[in-house]
Amino acid sequence: MARAKIEEIRRQELTEAAYEILQESGIAGTTLAKVAERAGMSKGIVLHYFRDKDDLLEAVMRLANALLRDEVVRRMRRTKGDRGRVEAIVAANFSPSFFKPEICNAWLSLCAEVPRNREFGRIQRVIHARMRSNLAPPLRTLLPADAAEAAVIGITAMIDGLWLRFGLSLGGLTREQAVAEMDRYLAQLLD
Amino acid sequence: MARAKIEEIRRQELTEAAYEILQESGIAGTTLAKVAERAGMSKGIVLHYFRDKDDLLEAVMRLANALLRDEVVRRMRRTKGDRGRVEAIVAANFSPSFFKPEICNAWLSLCAEVPRNREFGRIQRVIHARMRSNLAPPLRTLLPADAAEAAVIGITAMIDGLWLRFGLSLGGLTREQAVAEMDRYLAQLLD
Amino acid sequence: MARAKIEEIRRQELTEAAYEILQESGIAGTTLAKVAERAGMSKGIVLHYFRDKDDLLEAVMRLANALLRDEVVRRMRRTKGDRGRVEAIVAANFSPSFFKPEICNAWLSLCAEVPRNREFGRIQRVIHARMRSNLAPPLRTLLPADAAEAAVIGITAMIDGLWLRFGLSLGGLTREQAVAEMDRYLAQLLD
Amino acid sequence: MARAKIEEIRRQELTEAAYEILQESGIAGTTLAKVAERAGMSKGIVLHYFRDKDDLLEAVMRLANALLRDEVVRRMRRTKGDRGRVEAIVAANFSPSFFKPEICNAWLSLCAEVPRNREFGRIQRVIHARMRSNLAPPLRTLLPADAAEAAVIGITAMIDGLWLRFGLSLGGLTREQAVAEMDRYLAQLLD
DNA sequence: AATGAATGAGAATTCATTCAT
DNA sequence: AATGAATGAATTCTCATTCAT
């Protein structure tokens, strides 16, 4: 059990290190050497715990996703009502701990590779499915069936679009503007 | 005169080849060798016409941008009225010749590198500025000042978000759905 | 301990291989591939132990210098008296193990790059400083102050000039002639 | 004749340009493109007038040699007596127009390649032969036969050694010091 | 479990050189 | 005579990956 645990711990540490490097250096700039160094481990250990570089990046994708998912869950727990649930899900995506240029960019980098990496695609699909399964039920009580379907797509797209823009780090969009824009969109949709 | 143009022709050919390869292979997979081969030229010629790989990718970004810009211009010319202008701009972004998974993904790949490439950032800024200068005037006649400002951000974000999703090539979103979603958003905004 | 040393061992082996190749092929002809092959190692390893080609060549310069320095030290230890010290230093520069056409030429090749390589310059400066600090004290007891100063420059120049000529490998100068010439010069200077 | 002349003119211009580039960039840094640009000509023309890069560098070696030779001749003409001839030859080698760090270094760069370039060797041999044929006769009248022979080697070596040192551009030796050193050596030899 | 030595594939990049015009 | 387009070989350098310890 201790044995199983150390493996889990190392994988976790390496994944976090890789996530950091990815945010700083992009996918091409994320080398195993940098990741190992950031994790304070030896170069060789990375591929002891991960099949290959892609395997590590998949773990990063899952980690990034898990962090966001936890934030969503946390916020949904504190909320009541269908409208509140929708708002909580959305708010999680713009919480100061996630809606950062580096994180948005890291996410972008991973998404860009999806068409060329089967596993990335699988993970991405899971993420979308969860988004849908979170959003659809409350939306269906707030809107007609087809409007609810459309709203799932629309909300997701608006979030992604604002993330993309924020991830460019061009300074043309502040977090406040993004949040305001999102609120406006939700208001149009639900009011 | 023909002589002066051969440089332009070769650059164009190489840029187009690079654009194709980028769509297929992503940024990391876009090697000079592949580009040269696709263009039917020798490996050495690429760096005869481009300073380095980044220089070539910048040309690709400008090309992709120019193609979209031309489509926007074409559609705006055929249109009258402020509402029509906005719709034309938006429609250009979803015209069948651009709104393709590979193109959306290529665009994503380039955007992901913006924070680490000064020139990419500059080009991206130009693109956003043009988007704004196209959208803002008609929107200002259709909406109150602050709503118009917000609409510029919102429309752009919705387009980007739908492009991002489409670029994942996961089959979860059809062009028709994207267009419908966009229409719905515009209707909410302008009606 | 052995582990800590393997880096030192490999660097040493590679530096020696590079020194050999430099003697045969000159600076431009000294490619990392040739060096690796000569050392019986893989191509990739060279830049595992050296930052880049210049880093390797700097190590070569230090090696060549160290070998000569050791020879100087060895000969000075066996000697007594100021005149003897001077002669020992000079003799070291013409000992059969150093005063070889290939070595003189390798040295020439490195010197030729000094103006374009900051670190080469630094090393060269150290070499000259040591030459001065070895020669000056005994010369000062044998000659008036200003003559001693001049003698340092003169002896060094005569050595360098004979090395240069010998390094041309044109057969116009034998080791014996060089030694005789040097002796004659010293005799003029000190007798 | 005009035809023969334009070839000669172009070769001359290119050789001079190459000499300049060699002084700035060393042998490896001397590319045909740089030479052509410096000469204000097209890249292709260089190999129209020279067989290959080595052929061009040989021309540079001959040019550098010719310039020095002319200076020697000029100074010898103005001089009388054997001692004066020797001094004139030596002085030419330290005239302000030749005894420059860049020129000394360029010379060094060429010498360093002599063992690997048959033609360089041939030229170098000619240079030494001329040096000898200039120096030997006056020295033979000033010194005993074997001392004269030795003096030819010694003077040449001292010149070369001072050139080498000056070519390092390390600032440790001024022209004045070099000239003084040379004078001292000649005085020892001839007085 | 962990290290880091070693490999080799492959990338960008540089250039001499050839060739068509 | 002159241009500069085009080629391809060679080189440096980077990394993922393997392996022995």
Q: How far is CA A175 from CA A31, A171, A181, in A?
A: 30, 10, 10
Interface size, chain A vs chain B, as Cβ–Cβ contacts under 8 Å: 137
Q: Which nucleotide is nearest to B53 (CA to C1')?
A: E12
**pTM of the predicted model as reported, rounded to 2 decimal places:** 0.92
Q: Report the C-alpha dihedral over residues B64, B65, B67, B72, rounded to 10 degrees.
A: 150
D6 CB neighbours strand F below 7 A: yes
Fold type of domain C60-190:
Tetracycline Repressor; domain 2 (1.10.357)
* d(C-alpha D53, C-alpha D51), whole Å: 7
Segment D84-111 mean pLDDT:
97
- Cα–Cα distances in Å, from C75 out to C85, C90, C182, D63? 8, 10, 17, 43
What pLDDT is attached to residue A6? 87
Nearest residue in B to A102, CA atom: B115
Say yes or no to pLDDT of B153 above 90.
yes
How far the first Cα of chain C sits from its last, in Å, is 53
**Quick one: which of D111, B99, B96, B81 has its CA closest to C160?**
D111
CATH superfamily of the A1-50 domain: Homeodomain-like (1.10.10.60)
Is any Cβ of chain A less than 8 angstroms from the Cβ of B118? no
Q: Which residues of A touch B101 (CB under 8 A)?
A: 115
Considering chain B, tell me which residue range(s) the CATH 1.10.357.10 domain(s) occupy. Answer: 54-190
pLDDT digits (tens, 9 = 90+) for B30-83: 999 999 999 999 999 999 999 999 999 999 999 999 999 999 999 999 999 999
Cα–Cα distance between A182 and A95 in angstroms, integer?
12
**What's residue A4's pLDDT?**
65
pLDDT at C117 over 80: yes
**Options 3.60.150.10, 3.30.750.24, 1.10.357.10, 3.30.70.20; CATH of D53-190:** 1.10.357.10
For B54-190, give the CATH class: mainly alpha
CB contact under 8 A, D153 and C108: no
Residues of chain A with CATH 1.10.357.10: 60-190
Distance between CA D123 and CA C170 in Å, rounded?
A: 11
A1 CB-contact burial (10 Å; exposed 0-12 / middle 13-18 / buried 19+): exposed
- The answer to whether A154 contacts B111, with C-beta atoms less than 8 Å apart, is no
Residue C2 has pLDDT above 50, yes or no: no
- CATH 1.10.10.60: which residues of chain A? 1-50
**Which chains reach chain B with 3 or more Cβ–Cβ distances below 8 angstroms?**
A
User: In angstroms, what is the C-alpha Rg of chain A?
Assistant: 18
pLDDT, tens only, A144-166? 999 999 999 999 999 999 999 99
Confidence check: pLDDT of C3 > 70: no
**What does the pLDDT read at residue B4?**
56
CB C108 within 8 A of CB D113: no
Give residue A3's pLDDT: 58
Q: Which nucleotide is nearest to A47 (CA to C1')?
A: F17
What are φ and ψ of residue C179, in 5° steps? Answer: -65, -45
Q: What value does the mean pLDDT of chain B take?
A: 95
Q: Measure in Å the smallest separation between the Cα of A122 and chain B Cα atoms.
A: 9
Distance of alpha carbon B39 from alpha carbon B53, whole angstroms: 15
Q: Are C169 and D109 a contacting pair at CB < 8 A?
A: no
In the predicted structure, residue C167 carries a pLDDT above the cut 50 = yes
d(CA B35, CA B38): 5
Residues of chain D with CATH 1.10.357.10: 53-190
Vertex B7 angle, CA B4 and B12, to 5°: 130
